[in-house]
Amino acid sequence: MLDQSLDDRAGRLNDRYRHHAATEVLRRAVSDPDLGRVALVSSFGAESVVLLHMVSRVAPGLPVLFIDTQMLFPETLEYQREVAAKLGLTNVQLIGATDAEIARHDPDGSLHQVNPDACCDFRKTVPLERALSQYDAWITGRKRFQGGQRKQLEFFEPEPPHRLRVNPLAFWRSEDVQEYMAENNLPRHPLVARGYPSIGCAPCTSPVKPGEDPRSGRWRGSDKTECGIHFIGGRMVRGKVSA
């Protein structure tokens, strides 16, 4: 039975792994009894291949949850298949809204135009929560250099009421990500070369101009910056997250 104090568990884990490298944090976390059942959640986006490669080296059978919103770029779906095959990931699970949920909430596929929060909620947050109900912790690719509330990231975070988040790359720089990809000859998402440094659903993602923030192409023209699958203080992020 896991200790129900998330703060205590996160604190113990951070103390235990404070001086470990990202790969070692991941390697040990997938079998640490203080974490319990663990899954990786991956968007198969611009930088996702780093963690996916690490997982393929230490635990290729680890559950990898991939949210198919049915509004992704075709290139993302093809990239997901390519990366999973190349890395030998054996437990990639596609999750998403049910046909009944889509028919009820967004029958004509236009909800993102009038209420993007609601669209993200039923296409991403609800399916992910449903899938994560089987796990005690999940692994993310979030990093301090991404800014906002992420500036204070630790390797392990409480996600009330019952789960922990694991951020193996929390202390990496942008340069570390690019160097790892180059050194391991990892396949790049094809949209990155076309000006998409952050990739979400096709209707809500646009190219980024030189000098713009890498996430400025997400929900361009609105103050929305997060889809809601990440939490702050146990609450889903809605709108802009201030530093």
Residue-wise pLDDT tens digits, 103-157? 999 999 999 999 988 999 999 999 999 999 999 999 999 887 766 666 778 899 9
Residue 233 has pLDDT above 50, yes or no: no
201 marked among binding-site residues: yes
Using CA atoms, how far residue 104 sits from 43, 96, 112, in Å, is 25, 14, 14
120 marked among binding-site residues: yes
Bond from prior residue into 161 cis (ω within 30 degrees of 0): yes
Provide the pLDDT for residue 236.
Answer: 42
237 is catalytic: no
C-alpha–C-alpha distance, residues 125 and 79, integer Å: 22
Give the amino acid at 23.
Answer: T
Give the amino acid at 118.
Answer: A
Model pTM score: 0.87
Provide the pLDDT for residue 227.
Answer: 59
Determine contact, residues 205/198, Cβ cutoff 8 Å: yes
Nearest C-alpha neighbor of 204 from the set 103, 123, 93: 123
Cα 220 → chain centroid: 20
Nearest C-alpha neighbor of 144 from the set 177, 95, 98: 177
Catalytic residue among 227, 228, 230, 231, which? 227
Residue 125 phi/psi, 5-degree rounding, is -65, -50
CA–CA–CA angle 42, 114, 66 (5° rounding): 10
Provide the pLDDT for residue 162.
Answer: 85
Residue 222 banded pLDDT, cuts 50, 70, 90: confident
Q: How much is the mean pLDDT over the chain? A: 87
Residue 72 banded pLDDT, cuts 50, 70, 90: very high
